[in-house]
Chains A and B, each alone.
Chain A
Amino acid sequence: MSNDHGHGDKPFLAHHFEDEDHQFDSGKLGIWVFLVTEILFFSGLFCAYAIYRSMHPEVFVFASTALDTKWGAINTCVLLFSSLTAAWAVRNAQLGQNKRLIMNLALTILCAFGFMGIKYIEYKHKFHVGLKPGTYYAPTDEAYPGHAGLKAQTVAFVAEEGQGQEHGAGEVQVPAAAEHPAGEVTQHGAEGEAHAKGHGAPWNDPTVPVEVRERLKIFFGIYFCMTGLHGIHVLLGIVVFGWLLTRAIRGHFTPSYYGPVDFSALYWHIVDLIWIYLFPLLYLIH
């Protein structure tokens, strides 16, 4: 029954606020507090990432060869563009430019769909090559493609003496019968056997201890959790912006009432911000 709206000419001014300014200020503070919670929410995953990467940098270097930098970069650009359209939508609302507001909201939603589309392509490929999280991790031969010129850092597994050794210039051994990058022939033989306990041997060498090779799946656990959670937030953003779009089409937003556009854009920028950090941390590891 509660009649929370109805200041006559201001249909969206809630009864418990003095005026529209009061409502806007409160909403603004509210969304900023919410963004604080989002930052803390993702922090757990960033923490897990930071700990695991600092303890096992070699795992991350190698595993990220399975990620396609191209798609990651395109996704980054898509999200950056959508941040622009979202910020521009706020400007449109503030200036009463309803048609442009609708266009920018629609563009933001399209970009979000584009992002999810690319995510779908990436995930599909990973599942196809067996790079699944957790106990389902079962990479096929194509899982870790060789890249010409890429140097894998095969940091030694912590030796009995407790000393880690870093070998900078190991060459990637392309698994089984896959192509060899031109001119780069992997050399193992005696050297490989001598490093059988993990001193400088490449990853898929069967003499590398299994506990070292198994760590790769932790990378993918973290990868799917981080990008998955981020993806869920993108989907939620689509829902929110869809709601905004319908309201904009109905002409709800005016220069004196545009709070929902402003606050939703702030949410969207946080989603973009998280990706700004995810991209280099997951895709650009060398």
Chain B
Amino acid sequence: MAKIDLPITGRETGRVPVQHLDTNYLNVTKGALSWLLTLDHKRIGVMYLIGITSAFAIGGLAALLFRLELFNPGMQFMTHETYNQFFSIHGAVMVFLFIIPGIPAALGNMVLPLMLGAKDVAFPRLNLGSFYLWLGGAFFFLWTLIDGGLDTGWTFYTPYSSSVSSTAVIQATAGAFVLGFSSIFTGLNFIVTIHKMRPPGMTWHKLPLFLWGMYATAVIQVLATPVLGITLLMLIMERALGIGIFDPKNGGDPVMFQHFFWFYSHPAVYIMILPAMAIVSELIATFSRKHIFGYKMIAYSSVSIALLSFLVWGHHMFVSGQSALAGVIFSAITFTIAIPSAIKVFNWLATLYKGSVSLETPMLYALEFIWLFTIGGLTGLFLSVMSTDVFLHDTYFIVAHFHYVMVGGTLFAFLGGLHYWWPKMMGRMYDEKFSQAASIIAFLGFNLAFFPQFIMGSQGMPRRYADYKPDFTLYHQLSTIGTLVLGIGILMIVYALLKSLRDGRKAPANPWGGATMEWDCPSPPPHFNFEHPPHASDPYDMERVKWDDEVQGWVPVPGYQSRIQH
């Protein structure tokens, strides 16, 4: 292994630190086995990135196809049964293979140890194990696609999934089961890493907000996902043996299935959004050149969202046969969960206020997130009111709501984080103008795709329907066009990032001026990250770094004394 001349960080020495490494974690060893058997969290992160992007492509393609079918009323090139398969595959692949693992696996794995000045996560072999479990789950889903598909919806409701559907339900649920364990072990790893591998001086209140978000996410992963595991196992038993827990044909209770399923799946949506919010906190602070406003409120709101998320699952079940009493309780508690989310949005806005805002690509995504998540979150509040939800449940209103939060929220924040940390991960800068344009096109396409869905949903257009009354045609057409525009935007994004690998300018250690620890090591980092963990300071003390024209990046201010009291 090549010996890197130290010092790498400039904090202690006052000299401009090493900016870019030609020999780094990506190429320090070569060959397929050195990747497939790696214990390096950064390589694992890259492998995950490739995996989840591929899953996104499959899920996205499925969506594109059925949105083309929906362009006009009547059936054009699908049958009703095929349509059911397409939306089920779209949902299952996107939820289980892309969005739940997404940010923690691809970005979290890459960045978390770097932000802690650590050499790796607490359990590197478990980390690799998590990746192979993800691959295993992906394999089961591929098997599902080949062996009859899935038409139950990603929610697998009984009794359709247990005794009526003739599709590959068992393979799909087995895949989700395996993916669940991937998620659990990642969460476990992150919890222990954050507890035990912080650098000197990094108290809990000096933890970057990205890590608070990852920690809260990990808590949910560890508590909720096992319940999904047992639910799916019992569903497989129900389908294979007819044990009679969930299927009324055998004496079971389908509402109980929904309770079991949503006990996990509601907290799961917070697994999806908390990392996204965590990224946005980082982006807003860095690109406003300002200390994040309300650090403690944002940190605690992440934890409170994680805990509250376990108390509201019944709001997915208002019309399921659940009792009115349970409905009222769940509805009331759901109102409260809007509060910590709103707290975050207000703190971000307060951070922007009087900040020195620049609109690089990551910041564009962060601002787009705030817009899209606010809409998504507010519409969630409409749905939490039981009396309105009774009319809106299973309409396109719901579809629009969750796409605003999951795509507008999580995907856009993921893209923001990807663009933010891309120079660190790959050592290359991408074409800024092109990427900004791609971001805006994706944003416009997304809104065109999903805003009409709110309207038609409130007018009664049901979800998961292959055909519809001609009254809704305009909305469907707008939505399909929007989907195509979004698709173009995403292709542009991927193109720009891939192109940067070959043509991009070599990245400095700190291209954006962030004050968190990952910017103290070169881009890309060496295999071992840091020789010793740097001493922690306030993660949002922007004055710690200054622009250096020579390296075209930000460097630590020598001899800097922080004026921030802790």
Interface residues of A (CB under 8 A from B): 1-4, 14-16, 22, 25-26, 29-30, 33-34, 36-38, 40-45, 47-48, 51-52, 133-136, 211, 214-215, 217-218, 221-222, 224-225, 229
For B120, list chain A residues within 8 Å (CB): 4, 15-16
State whether B119 touches A48 (Cβ < 8 A). Answer: no
Q: Is B251 located at the chain interface by the 8 A CB criterion?
A: yes
B500 within 8 Å of A by Cβ?
no
Residues of chain A within 8 A of B65, CB atoms compared? none
- The size bracket of the interface on B is 35 or more
Which one of A1, A29, A51 contacts B195 once the chains associate, using CB atoms below 8 Å? A29
Contact assessment for A15 and B119 in the assembled complex, using a CB-CB cutoff below 8 Å:
yes
Query: Any chain A CB within 8 A of the CB of B129?
Result: no
**When A and B form their complex, which 5 residue pairs have the shortest distance between CB atoms, in order from nearest?**
A221-B243, A44-B230, A134-B241, A134-B242, A135-B242
Chain A to chain B contacts (Cβ below 8 Å), 24 pairs? A2-B39, A16-B119, A16-B120, A26-B123, A26-B195, A29-B196, A30-B126, A30-B189, A30-B192, A33-B188, A33-B192, A36-B222, A37-B222, A37-B225, A40-B226, A42-B230, A48-B245, A133-B237, A134-B243, A134-B250, A217-B244, A221-B241, A221-B243, A222-B243
A33 contacts B39, C-beta separation under 8 Å: no
- CB neighbours (8 Å) of A41 from chain B are 226-227, 229-230
Asked if B251 and A211 make an inter-chain contact with CB atoms under 8 angstroms apart, the answer reads yes
Least CB distance, A210 to chain B, in whole angstroms = 11
Chain B 32-57 interface 0/1 with A at a Cβ cutoff of 8 Å (1 = within): 00100011100000000000000000
Contact yes or no, A29 B251, CB < 8 A: no
Instruction: Give Cα distance in the complex from A34 to B39, angstroms.
Output: 21
Chain B residues within an 8 Å CB radius of A16: 118-122, 124, 197
The reply to whether B245 and A133 form a contact with Cβ atoms under 8 Å apart is: no
Contact B237 A44, beta carbon cutoff 8 Å: no
Q: Is the CB of B244 within 8 A of A134?
A: yes
B252 touches A (CB below 8 Å) = yes
Contact of B39 among A4, A26, A38, A214 (CB under 8 A): A4
List chain A residues, Cβ under 8 A from B244: 134, 217-218, 221
Chain A residues near B245 (CB, 8 Å)?
48, 52, 218, 221-222
CA A194 to CA B405, docked complex, whole Å: 60
Inter-chain contact A1/B234, CB cutoff 8 Å: no
Task: Verify A136–B226 contact, CB threshold 8 A.
Answer: no
Report B376 CB to chain A, min CB distance, Å.
28
> A16 to B121, alpha carbons, bound, how many Å?
8
Residue of A nearest to B40 (CB): A2
The smallest C-beta distance from B265 to any residue of chain A, in angstroms, reads: 13
Q: Give the residues in chain A near B192, CB-CB below 8 Å.
A: 26, 29-30, 33
At the interface, yes or no: B21 with Cβ under 8 Å from chain A? no
Task: Answer whether residue B184 sits at the interface, using C-beta atoms and an 8 A cutoff.
Answer: yes
- Which chain B residues border A217 with CB–CB below 8 Å? 243-244, 250-251
Cβ of B444 under 8 Å from chain A? no
Seed contacts A1-B38, A40-B224, A51-B256; 9 additional CB < 8 Å A-B pairs: A2-B124, A26-B197, A30-B122, A30-B123, A43-B226, A51-B253, A218-B243, A218-B250, A221-B237
Q: Which residue of A15, A36, A44, A52 contacts B231 across the interface (Cβ within 8 Å)?
A: A44
| Contact between chains at A37 and B243 (CB < 8 Å) | no
Residue pair A136, B241 in contact (C-beta under 8 Å): yes
Bound: A38/B227 CA distance, A:
10
Determine the distance from Cα of A29 to Cα of B225 in the docked complex, in whole angstroms: 19
Please name all residues of chain B whose beta carbon is closer than 8 Å to the beta carbon of A36 when the two chains form the complex. Answer: 222-223
Closest to A49 in B: B245
Q: Which residue of the partner chain, among B222, B241, B251, contacts A33 with CB atoms under 8 Å?
A: B222
CB nearest to A59 among chain B residues: B251
Asked if B223 and A218 sit within 8 Å, CB to CB, the answer is: no
B227 touches A43 (CB 8 A): yes
C-alpha spacing A252/B376, complex, angstroms: 55
- A4, B121: Cα distance in complex, Å: 12
> How far is A40 from B219 in the complex, measured between Cα atoms in Å?
12
Output the least CB separation between B303 and chain A (Å): 16
- Collect the chain A residues with CB atoms within 8 Å of residue B224's CB: 40
CA distance A215 to B245 in the complex (A): 10
On chain B, the residues within 8 Å of A43 by CB distance are 226-227, 230
Can you list, as one digit per residue, whether each of B118-154 has a CB less than 8 Å from chain A (1) or not (0)? 1111111110000000000000000000000000000
Instruction: Kindly report which residue of chain B lies nearest to residue A1, judged by CB atoms.
Output: B29
